[in-house]
Chain A
Amino acid sequence: MLSVSRTSLAVVVLALAVASIVVLALVPSPVTPKPFMTLHGLGYEVDYYSVSAFNYPVIVFRGFMNSMPVPFTVSLFAIAPNHIYTVGYYSGYGSVVVNLTGSLVRYIASRWVSEFNGALNPSLIAFITYGEGNKTWTVIAAIPYKPSWVVSQEPIEITVNANFTAVKPVIVMPVTKPTGTTQSKPTNGPGSDPFGYTYVGSCIGNPNVTYPPPPQQPPTCARYGFQCYYWALQQCSLFKGPIPLLFVGWSKNAIQNGVSSIFIDYMGGGTAQSGSGLFGTLNRSGNLILVGPTITFSQSYTIETSTATSQVCIVYGPSLTFTGGSCPANNIPSPIYYVPSSGFFYIGLPGRVAYVAFQEYVNNYGYSTPLNVWANGTEPLSLSPKDFAGNYLLVYPYIDVGNGSITGMFAEVLHAYEMRRQLVVSLDDGYNSVANVSACPSPLYGYQELTGNLAFVEYTLGNAITAYSPRPVNIAPLLESLLPGVYVGEVPTIVGHLITGAGTVSTIAGAFIDTNHLLIGANVYVNFNPSSSSSFYITLIGSPQATNPGGSSSIYPMGMIINASNYYLGLRECER
């Protein structure tokens, strides 16, 4: 019996051996497709093949959850030299094929070829989303391509493998704990929830949600008509967390070797005038729209700090520790954050921010059809009652060591910078300890040398940043930056600066603030030892100017970054 089974097994083995030889002969031949280029991003991988199942350029999207194919949708955008176009929305089970044969894609590719002569490889941006229950996972993939492939319709196949397991769900289950997490507490010290935002619930039906201006195409739905266009709110997710206003960031080398301490006095003493407020930001087909103000101050408030002391001291330490004591270098008693790495200190208003997605519809004789036009963004919906005390508007301190909303904002700013070489924040070179000067003519600062080898550079943040006028935005700041909860995670280290290895980042609150009517001050003292400190550079950061419906200029989180090797991003700019 044994010998019979052994005989048959030997026959099988012989057959398998012959089959293996055939397969081995095929593997190195050109019949077998092999990627000629592979790229990775957070939760996705892009492979490029010149052997294709098609005879024109295509992108094959694949979506996996726990390594198994799942149904998913793809929202695909193409970046033209100065516009972002929606290529289309697709859905499928396990795989989705997008042909790069359409006239729009070919037009965009030809623009790149004609303007840059093929010297640049632009990207398509895909939002690949999988939903289950009330959770959605989105992988944002940047897909670089050679425009000539599209123009001459070469049979290039690009496969994009999206691994949803690698990203955090955008909408999570409502928090069932009755007590909120610590980000709404005055000081989110160590041990608190590191995430900047907590999902609260749906905000569909919330009266504070502000719709974008009516779609451009006339006629609108003002009268009962034969054809009209309107916006429908398709998604509204409410998050609880701080709306950042001012920040101070530092790199690890700067805090460890460059400066002795950063002392921040955010007493401010600014005012929020009656009628001023916070705006929402929406991205409609690549154009930034301000909506609101969604929160308006019904009376004038004096901006005041929430805590007993309005000072904080940031010092390098082996682990993140929050304690009281005297700030090293200047010996002023204050709360002290010992920080082991790069991070941000920021002040903000605890509140509720909504992620909203509006879809345009057309109504034909009473039949409504959705169009592929979306306006997505964030709107601050309400401030927390703890923000108010009589005639005072209270601001709260927060620390973000690589997992909070300011890190999230920079992750997305840098992501966009890498993708498009376009900065969505404005930089102004501040102080430079190597030359002991400011590179730009007049960011307002004070420099003083004290006894005992102590010197400091002082900035009054609000004034220093509004002293120069950031350039206006006329194209999309970014799709990504306006999507809260979108998990970018992987922060590109462009010139080896600030944020490296931020494992988890959440988002930004796109709260534009009317700077004509709301001003907060914070004095930042960067203390250092002029004889022994290594070099550091201060860069002032504001966001681009945008025009709100009332016509005045607006700005959102502003701050500064202290870097060790060069000005932040290594860009020398003097915006004025």
Chain B
Amino acid sequence: MTTTEMMTLKTEPFVLNFGPVHPSTHGVYRMRVTLDGEVVIDLEPVVGYLHRGIEKLTEERTYGGVIPLTDRLDYISPMSNNLAYCLAVEKLAGIKVPERAEYLRVIMAELQRLANHCIAVGSLFSDSGAAFTPFMYMFREREKIVDLFEMVCGQRLTYNYMRIGGVSQDIPDEFLPALSKFLVTMPRFIDELDFFLKENEIFLARAKGVGILSKEVAINCGMSGPVARASGINRDLRKADPYSVYDRFEFDIPTCETGDCYDRYRVRIEEMRQSLRILEQASKDIPQGSVKADVPHLIRPPSGEAYGHLEAPKGELGFYIVSDNSIAPYRCHIRPTSLINLSALRDMIKGWKVADLIIIFGSIDITMGEVDR
């Protein structure tokens, strides 16, 4: 006799590897996902496919020679990495940076934030399946920022622009007019983009309430940047521990309450607007003068240790440097934003479906170069 129990299909969860080669793992990240049909019941992250030993490599280079390596950390935003490292070394060696250089650094860091958020929002939509269209439009705008960077340092991806005690060279004459032109077009683009994406019914259904990161989990995992601010943590190092000349500018820190994918998108768009505000003020107030302090080519900081951190586009980026009074760092530890922001991934994803896994992962905005170092 057939009973209902006998007729029920036996199902079992299965393990699926997302990555390391997968279109939307933003590099070579690997997730061993246990699936029950479409539902994710467990996730185990595997990192290390892009490990290049940058922390070890720094020990064999001069202090100035480390800067090109930092470009390769978070290759979406190398300017911020340059700056974070320079801040740490300057703190260690007690170097005072000229005014003009500080302003240039702020301008570059904020432009970098805009460029990074362009990619972050673009790839979030590309992950949610919008056939690459927002991605291409974002890249069109990012291209303008990259053109500005090319103007100042000749590079389009690995800028290597900051130096210990300043920046490598002064900006050309045509930079500031080009920047002010950019400051006119960019807000319009952001408004247009936000108008199209903010209330897109499918995007709302896909992102609103999905992948909620609670405030407690965010704090416990040490999350920072837009991901933490979307969960309601009002912490931005530009305000909490002002470095460079950030205390002279007027800007707000956007925060949201829910901490879902949609909030992360909103926070990024608002941050782009705030960055534009800072850029406007900085390009107006920029003083004349030298752009590099009088620093020897091979500096020998006094023995000791220093931790320099800043608000990188993805969150708090820190460099911890130990010096033994030689020309190379004794030890350099990097506090990577992306890796630490990934730590709550499992909590956020459990119970959601495969499609949500991709969009949640995309909304964290990581770069594998920084995760694996």
Bound together: no
Binding site for A on B (CB under 8 A): none
